[in-house]
Structures are given as C-alpha cells and as structure tokens.
Chains A and B, each alone.
Chain A
Amino acid sequence: VQPPEKPLQAEEWSKLRESFQSPEIFEEVMFNSMVRYNSPIDVAKSLLTHVAKSNGDIAYNLLLKYLALCVQQGQTSEIRDVYDIMKMRFKILESGAYNLLIKGLSNSDQWRMALTLLEEVKKFMTPSRTNYESCIKAAGRHKEMNLAFELYHEMLAKDLVPTLDILQALFDFSRGMQGAELQKELFGVLSYLRENQIYPHKTFMRSVKLWFESIPGGNWRGHLTNIKDSGQCPVCNHQLEDSDLTEEEYNNLRERIIRDVIHGTDTFRKTSPQEFEAFQTFVENRLPFDIVIDGLNVSHIKPRRMQCENLFDAVNSLAKNNARLLVLGRKHMLINSSNWKREIMKEMQKKADFFFAENISEDDAFLLYATLRSGQRCKFVTRDFLRDHKAALSDSLTRHLFRKWQRGHQVAISPSADGKRIHFTSEKLFLSLFIQQPAFSYDCVVQTTGDTWHIPYKDSFEEKYSYRVPRKWLCIQQQ
C-alpha cells in the first residue's frame, strides 16, 4: 500500500480501510508502509486520530510503529509525547519501545533522557549493545568522555561485545582532547583490540591515526605501511613481536588440545585409548620433529596425479636440510592400490617417520599433538583450516591462543604451475611444485612499545576471511 501524501479526514480513512482487502490489519499495514516510505508525520497522526476516535484506544503495536516513524525523522517532542502516553497507559514497556526511545532521544538535545531510559531498561533486562552504542555516542557528542567510558566499561562488565562503531566513536570524539586519563582509556581500547584479535577497518584506522596525531603536545606521527615478511616495519625499522607463545601459554594450549580436541567427551570418538597411547610412545621416542605433515591432506594437492606421488614430492622437497619429518597417515595407505604404490611408500619411509592411524581415526588430532609436543620450532603442513578443532576448544581465550599458534606454525602448500619456482622465505628452500604460504614469523595483532604503535587493519569493512590476517599496517611513532 502506498500511504497518502497528506493527512486525511476520518471519513477518507474509513473509505480506504474498507477498500483494503483485509480491514482488520489495515492500520498495521499502513503504518508499516509509512515507515518504509518515510511518510510525513502528520499523515500518521491523522490516522492515529482516526483510530483513536473510532476505537477509543490505540493498540500498543500501532504506537510502537508511530514511534519508529518519529525516531526515523528525529521528531524529539513527538517521541517524548509518545513516551508519556505509553508510560501512562502501560505499566511496563518492552525492549522494542526502549530501543526506539533510546535511539531517538540520544540523537537529540534531550540525550540525557536516553540515559535515564537506559537505567529503566536495566531494571528488568540487560540492555542491548546498540542501546549502549546510542548512549555512548550521545555522551561523546557532548564531550562527556568520562560518561562515555563509564558506559563502555559497564557494557564490558556485562559481557556485551562492543560494536566497532562504539570503539571508533570513542576515538573520534576524543580527538584533540587533553588528559592523561583519557589517553589511558583509549590505549585500553587498543589493547581490547589486541586481546580479542580484532582488526579495525580502514575508516576506523583513520580515526585512530587522527586521534594520535591530535594529542596536544604528543608529537605522534602515523604512516600506512606493509610489514616485510621478516617482521620489520619499513617506516620505523621496528621489529614486530614474534608469533611464539610464552612457555605458559604453550603448555596451556597443549594441555587443552589433548583434553578438548583429542579426548573431548569420549576418546573413542576420534581415536581409541590404545591407539593414542601407542602414538604417544611413538612420538616420545622420536622427538623432536621439525615438520609434521598431514599425509592424506598433502596427497590430494594435485588431483590428477597419483596420491602417493603428491606426497612423495612434498616429502622430498621438505626433506632437504636434514629436517626431521613426521608423516601422519591412515593404515589404508599401506595397502597396495592404484593410488598408493608400495614401492613409493617404502622409498618415502626412508626419508621420514610415518605413523599410520586406524582408518576410522582422525589424524588431525595426532597432527596437533605431535607438533605441539615437538616444541615451538616445529611446523606442520596441511591445507586444512582446522576450524573444527578450534571449535572444540571450550573457551575463547584458548581459541585465540590456538589461532595465534596456528598462524605461526602452519605451512599451507598449494599447487603451482609446473616449473614456476617460488622462493620459500624462511627456510630458503626452492620448491618446484608448491607455492607455500609461509608461517608468519611475526604476530599480527595490535602492539606497542610505548613510543610506537603498530596496528594491522583491513582494507575495507567486509574484506577478510577469518583465517586470513591483514597485511596492511598503521605505524605510529612519537617523535
């Protein structure tokens, strides 16, 4: 339905209503389309008046829709009126109304009223993060940064995840403001990004940069740059943090992998206790490995070739430099078949250690265990993103550790056109067959040394797969 352009008389509304196919929901449909077409508020008012006069009452959902229209058009006094009427008419309001009211009022000069409404919401439920967003932005807009940060901490305490908009607003509104306390708070926001491995997008990054440069007497300068593979910043020559985990983190991660991923609710789901024990003794006797290879994953790299040939190439190219290799596979690989030739398998076993799991066991869990057991130097080769294993970890902190460790230790190889030679950076190997995505030697998170900050950012808002880390950085240094 197209809403009318001008307010209508009661009779005209009645006529419209009767011509509508299902008159019972006429008002609802009409209000919906008014919100959609952003009709003038007077039209809505005239309909409300018509409804009020013919029914003596206006249903809550209609009031709600009218409120949405008012919020959409920033009609502050109307919002107040509707609020008063709702308060009078109903004992308690529900979250939808509060969302609209807070949103509407926070954008007006009556923004403090939004704060009292937020308090009202808290009485019976946890406010949503967009409620907080409205209030924080309103406070920031009126240069009440203390209040804004108070609200920000309050929502963190309630385990709400702040929207990127909130974080960005904190930087935007603090621009050019003095105060050591404020600076500390914003550094706190940056460390929130670090702890949660959040990468800001480009406009966010710009806000951060402008804030730094606006600190009175701070002499901060920001530059956009790409970090070299060696982990050195080309602007300030600073070496980024390496991706190694601390001893404690590392041990923690290893234990959690054994507990959550390998054993989980039932050891029999991924392996069996006997098999896992056999594998443990196998690994202990041969430690440490330099590279652990997921045999089956690697064998599928080039689908047109025989699987054992793929594996053979990978093992050969990695076996240089006396690296100690461990290849994980399943028992079916030992049976002579069209894909697995016994002679080639024998040849390979001279160059690397092999462990063959039962055909129904999951070899990924073994891959993780063997790599973690061999120490920080050890890398592993697979194209698998290991997302299911990450998901099996029970808390987000350990998942972050896992991601960090994975970034630093996973070597992914993918097929390249024959003959095209790719320089494999960290090990100085030439691989004729595979393009290798090297494990990062530096950690891709927000980091600081006190007088420098390095912040990785995404080029646009959407870009970035969860497994891919940004290559662009903002380098900020104090002069």
Chain B
Amino acid sequence: MQSANVLLKKIVRNSVLPFAAQHGMKKDLFPLSRTLSLSLCLKQDNSGSPSGKLDLDGWKKVMKSGLQEEVGETVSEQKELSTLASAREILEMWRLAGRSVPENITEEQLKTFMACPSKSAKKKYLKYLHLKELYKKNDKRKMDEKRERRLEAQKQASETDETKRNSFLVMWASAMDKAYGWRVAQSMIFGQPLIFDMSYEKEMSVREVTNTVRQIVLSESCNRRSVDPFHVHFCNLKDDSLYQREFIKHYRETWGKLLVTVTDRCYTDIFPKDKLVYLTADSPKVMKTFDHDKIYIVGSMVDKSIKTGVSLARAKRLGLETAALPLERYLLWNSGAKNLTLDQMMHILLTLKDTGDWKKALEFVPKRKYCGFVSKPVNELKKTLNLINTLKLGNRQEEAQRQFAKNYSKKLRQK
C-alpha cells in the first residue's frame, strides 16, 4: 500500500515536470533521479507525522526540494523575453491566479491585448476572450454529446432495421431554401425597398461594427423567411470597408449570391427624397401607421457608448423626413434604451407590413424593456376613463372623478 502510494505521488509529481522542460531545460535525463529523491523525502515526512508533531513548514520543503537545481538555470534563462512572450507568461500567471483569462490565445489576440490603452480595457478584453472560449467549449461538448446520441440511435435503428415509407423525399431544407429564394427574387422586382444605411463606420468601434453586421445578417435571414419580404438595400457600403469585410466573414461565398441590392451610393441618389423616411429613436415625429409607399431607412449602427442624435443629424443634413416607433404610445416603458437592435426592427417592420397591427409588431420589443401593453394610446385611455366615471358618478362628483382620472393617467405615464 505504501509503495503504491509513493508511486502515485511520483506520477503526480511528474506531471509538474513538463512545465520545467517546456522552458528549454535539459531535464529529460533528470526526472527519474529527482522524483526518487522527492519520494524519499515524502516517505520521511509520512513516517514523521504520526508522532503527533506537526511540521508546519513541511510544504516549503516540498516546494523547494527538487526545484533547487533549476534555480541557476531559470536565472540564466531570464535573458530578454520578447514582449509578446512575456505578455503570454503574465496571462498564464493571471490564469493560475484565478482571473478570467482565456486558456489559449492567438498571436493576433495577444497583439490586440497589448494595444489596449488601459488596464481596464485589457481586463475587459481578456474577460471577453475568456467567455468566448467558455461558450465555444460548451458548444463543442454539446455537439459531441449529440453526435454520440445520434450514433447510438442509428445503431439501434439499424438493429431493428425499420424503413419508413413516405410519399415525399426528405429534402426539406433545400426545398425551403429554393422557395425562399423565389420569394426574395420576386421582392427584388416588385417588393417595397428597405434601406440599411451603412455610413456609420467612423462612429463605431470594431466590436460595434461586428455586432452590427451580425444583426444585419439576422435581419436578412428573417426577411428571407417572411411571407412578403422587403427588397433590402445596403446603401453607402464602400468597397473594402470594415462592414464589407465582416459581411464576407459571415457569408463567405454566399455574399455574391445574396438577394439584396448592395451599392456604395447614397439612398438619396437612388430614390426620390420625398419618399424616404429615416427611422431613428431620436426623431421628434412618431410613426402612426406603416406606409406601403414610403421607403424606410434604418441606420446600421450599434451604439454602445451614448451617442445620441447621430442618425437624426444624418437625416437632418440630407433634409429627410424622420420617424420613431410609437413605443411610448403602446407600451408602458420600463427601462432600457428606446433604440432597438436591427433584427428587432426588421421583425417589427415585417409584421407591420403584413398586418399593420402595432400590438403584434411591438411584441418583438424585448420583454425586459416594458411592463405591459396599452391596447389603446394613453390619451384615449384617459378619455374612456373619464366617460366611465361620468356615467358612474354622475355630474355631482365631477370634481372628484377628474382628480381620479388625472392621477390614473399620471401613474400610467410614470411607468
């Protein structure tokens, strides 16, 4: 038993060695002798402890033993580490210290890390990479599990050897794709245009542009799947802009076959100005109905820092009509900014286009942002309330009910 224990410890101890070997030490020949000496000392300690006396500094002995011969070498080793390599070392130490640091980091990421202007920026970037790594790992694990399950199911199926008869060939995905393709192609000829304004690259950080493109990809796909798609235009999209590079990253070769109109021209050059409506949360005008003859413009911008009025300024400069969604009218707003993501906008606009029903369309506003729906606009609600009160209380208590109505509407607005 004792010897088995020692053997076990030897193995564990050995696993530390590659660390030393990694750093270019000629340790390959030594491990045997070293572990031997270590296990010897362990044995001694073990035999010493039962006597009841605790050796409190025993851990130091363990930590120092076997490492002594390295000392000279590590010192001489510490010539000049290149800055990248030393950054990598520090990251590794941070990881050991239990900070959120990714396990693996590429050269490019390391450079981005070094280029971060401040300590907090560095920390944030590392945390981002760390989380990304975690998600990736989890996804991979789930995929593997799924594959295993599928294989097992196949095995079972082959054992029972059951074949199903069906009148259709199973090729849903490609058939659907074809059908969607037809629909979008049709919309490119007859459909209502919807413009994404790609002129905000300067206003955004790289992360924000990446997020923007991701949101547009989502919007494009939900447009493709809808019953009556928009004819999507990407206007002001310059060649070799960050937007475009990100698009290509996402779509790869599909980018050339995408059923949207991509142009580096401005929408004002393509469409008559009086038909254009710029959608922006900062607009003083509130959209009442969806107009099928208008051409709506959505600014392709993710705004993580607070830059109010950027898209409103753009519309003002070009002298375009602007509009905001009637969020206040229909929703009891809770918290969060009134600017929505691009795919949410797309969902809302598509629903409006199909049904014209605000309640249905505004279902796509994230639930956390509002408390509930006001089926009718707040001021109409107030009128109804007044009417009810008049009927209920009669003219005598006019004063009281007016007060009541006032309070009620105030509460509504405060929420």
Residues of A at the B interface (CB closer than 8 Å) are 7, 9-10, 28, 42, 45-46, 48-49, 51-53, 55-61, 64, 81, 85, 88-97, 124-126, 128, 265-270, 272, 359-360
Contacts and interface: CB of A to CB of B under 8 A. Distances in A.
B59 A51 contact: yes
B334 to A, nearest CB: 24
A53 B86 contact: no
A128 B118 CA distance: 12
Given A9-B54, A58-B59, A61-B97, 15 more contacts: A28-B98, A48-B59, A52-B63, A56-B16, A57-B13, A85-B60, A88-B71, A89-B67, A91-B74, A92-B86, A96-B97, A97-B97, A124-B87, A126-B119, A272-B316
Contacts of B12: 55-57
Contacts of B367: none
A94 B94 contact: yes
For the residues of A in contact with B, the DSSP-based class is: helix
Given A7-B56, A49-B59, A85 B64 contact: yes
B121 interface: no
8 contacts: A9-B49, A10-B49, A49-B58, A56-B62, A58-B62, A60-B97, A97-B97, A268-B313
With most chain B CB atoms within 10 A of its CB, the pick from A10, A53, A60, A270 is: A53
B70 A88 contact: yes
A61 B101 CA distance: 14
Contacts of A265: 203, 310
A265 B312 CA distance: 13
A61 B70 CA distance: 22
A49 B98 CA distance: 21
A360 B284 contact: yes
A227 B290 CA distance: 64
Interface residues of B, number: 49
Contacts of B87: 124
Nearest to A45: B56
Contacts of A128: 119
B94 A360 contact: no
B183 to A, nearest CB: 38
Given A61-B96, A92-B93, A53 B63 contact: no
Contacts of B23: 91
A472 B77 CA distance: 59
Contacts of B58: 49, 52-53
A383 to B, nearest CB: 21
Nearest to A90: B93
Nearest to B314: A268
B7 to A, nearest CB: 12
Contacts of A48: 59
A165 B56 CA distance: 38
Interface of B: 9, 12-13, 16, 23, 38, 42, 45-46, 49, 54-60, 62-64, 67-68, 70-71, 74, 77-78, 81, 86-87, 89-90, 93-94, 96-99, 119, 203, 284, 308-310, 312-314, 316-317
B90 A92 contact: yes
A90 B95 CA distance: 13
Contacts of A93: 93
Contact of A61 (B46, B56, B68, B98): B98
Classify the secondary structure of B's interface with A. helix
Contact of A359 (B86, B90, B284, B313): B284
A78 B93 CA distance: 21
Nearest to A128: B119
B93 A42 contact: no
Contacts of A46: 54, 56
B93 A94 contact: yes
Contacts of B90: 92, 94-95, 124-125
A49 B309 contact: no
A53 B42 CA distance: 7
Given A57-B16, A94-B94, A269-B309, A49 B55 contact: yes
B312 A360 contact: yes
A60 B94 CA distance: 10
B56 A266 contact: no
Contacts of B56: 7, 42, 45-46, 49
Contacts of B119: 126, 128
A126 to B, nearest CB: 8
A53 B284 contact: no
Given A94-B97, A269-B312, A81 B60 contact: yes
A272 B49 CA distance: 84
Q: Which of B96, B203, B310 has the most CB of A within 10 A?
A: B96
Q: Which 5 A-B pairs have the closest CB atoms?
A: A268-B313, A94-B93, A52-B59, A60-B96, A52-B62
B54 A89 contact: no
Nearest to A6: B54
A53 B62 contact: yes
A268 B59 contact: no
A104 to B, nearest CB: 16
Contacts of B93: 60, 90, 92-94, 97
A326 B71 CA distance: 78
Contacts of B86: 92, 124
Contacts of A95: 90, 94
A165 B45 CA distance: 48
A269 B310 contact: yes
B85 to A, nearest CB: 10
Contacts of B62: 49, 52-53, 56-58
Nearest to B96: A60
Contacts of A51: 59
* Of A42, A58, A88, A94, most B-chain CB atoms within 10 Å: A94
A85 B71 CA distance: 10
A396 B158 CA distance: 74
A92 B82 CA distance: 13
Contacts of B64: 85, 88
A269 B54 contact: no
Contacts of A53: 42, 45-46, 58-59, 62
A49 B67 contact: no
A266 B313 contact: yes
Nearest to A96: B97
Nearest to A66: B59
Contact of B313 (A85, A97, A269): A269
A56 B9 CA distance: 7
Contacts of B63: 52, 57-58, 85, 88-89
A97 B49 CA distance: 31
Contacts of A126: 119
A81 B59 CA distance: 11
A267 B74 CA distance: 60
B317 A91 contact: no
B137 to A, nearest CB: 18
Contacts of A91: 23, 74, 77-78, 89
A7 B54 contact: yes
A376 B74 CA distance: 67
A58 B12 CA distance: 12
Contacts of A89: 63, 67
B117 to A, nearest CB: 11
Nearest to B88: A92
Nearest to B315: A268
